[in-house]
Structure 1
Amino acid sequence: MRYRKRKWHELDLLCRAGVGIPLLAPAICRTLRDLIGADAVSLFWLDEQGMPAGVFHENAADSALDLFVNEYDRLFTGPSEINVSQIASRTGRPVGHLMNPTRDYYLSNTFNLLVRASGHFHTLDLRVDVDHRPRAVVMLFREQERPFVDQDAFHLAQALPYLRRAVEQRSADSAWERLDLNGYLLVDRSGTTLLKASAEVSRILKAYTIVGQNVCLTGQTTSPPALCRNSAVVSKPPRRSSSSLTRQ
């Protein structure tokens, strides 16, 4: 009992940090795994329209995450798929939609290319709404011999106030900064060709697993993420002994 109380207190403190879900995701997943008793946890954060914007998974293979971030629309949005967007768009009970799925779920890309490919079988989900809009989805996983039960769903639902706070308290001028994650990309005028990248770039892009940015998680970075196409970065010729970059 004392251990669980300490873990809930830890989750409370984490979610008050004000740095946003992406930076807190590893610690939140680890704490929820200990609290509920799961083999692994994933956390998806959503944009203003309720679409996946990023994901952290504790032990998914890079190949599975690569499919999620780069092939989401093609593989996981069909009528037979029970995907993150569908879970986020449901109303009513926020927890446990995948505890007893229909048979179709076990034939879906979602299960076979993501869940089973990561060594899991049972899933317990939690939708996190803020101001009546879905902003995050948590998924806990267990092996086939250990199904989730109603008591697990009840305990996971207790995390809702903390997770809402983690979303709400993201401050644009937060003093928190990941000083160990600095990288530089040099792209052409169109933003589609990578001219030069520092050694840290691949590690940074993989760590954030940003959906829809064409970031390959199974190899080195050879092309810039899609966001570079929206910000024209122009290289000016050297002047004397220095060169500069200007953003227009």
Structure 2
Amino acid sequence: MTLLALIASGLRDALTFWLPLACAGCDAPDVSLCDGCRAALVPRPSRRHAGPSLPIVCGLRFEGIAARVIRAFKEEGRTALARDLAPALAAALAASVPPGARVTTVPSSSAAFRRRGYRPVDLLVRRAGRRPERLLRLRRSPEDQRGLGDRARRENVRGAFAARRPLDGAVVVVDDVVTTGATLAEAVRALRAAGATDVRAVALAHTPRRSGSRDESEVIMT
């Protein structure tokens, strides 16, 4: 861990000690996550599609309590919430990982790592009982995807990732939240270009389709 990451971790610990604790889902006092909000994180594996050839298995819908908890985990440094989010990701991985597959994650930028002091997706994968490998690297840092349409998102991440080494066999690539699937699709492309023969995509959560459009997610029976 770098010096900056250690400092960021120390600051998070200090804030946790001095600031009042509240539920990440509903702001109930004196608890990191209340029982009611924890129940809202029960895994609900479903399959979304990024184009005709890329199914993405997701553990939750990114809305309501789940969305608030994921934001607190990612943006407020509340890393202990990974324990509560991990079952949903574990369920999605269980529905996706073929025998012998390697698990990797969509890489985050150096600036994001310095700001947070940790890699959220890597932490989630470890809490879900898998060992993530750093098989991808950033060739360039895409712009923030928020507010972009489907085509703009695809263009924004085009060519952003490359494999760190030649690959073969099965690889599962994991992200935290999928909206259009453009980021995962580009990660899958880079892994296939490096030689991986069976590449699958998984996300902790997916955003529901915009109002007026059809939600094409398929519930996976477990």
Indicate whether the TM-score tops 0.5. no
In the superposition, the TM-score normalised over structure 2's length comes to: 0.30
Higher CA-based Rg? 1
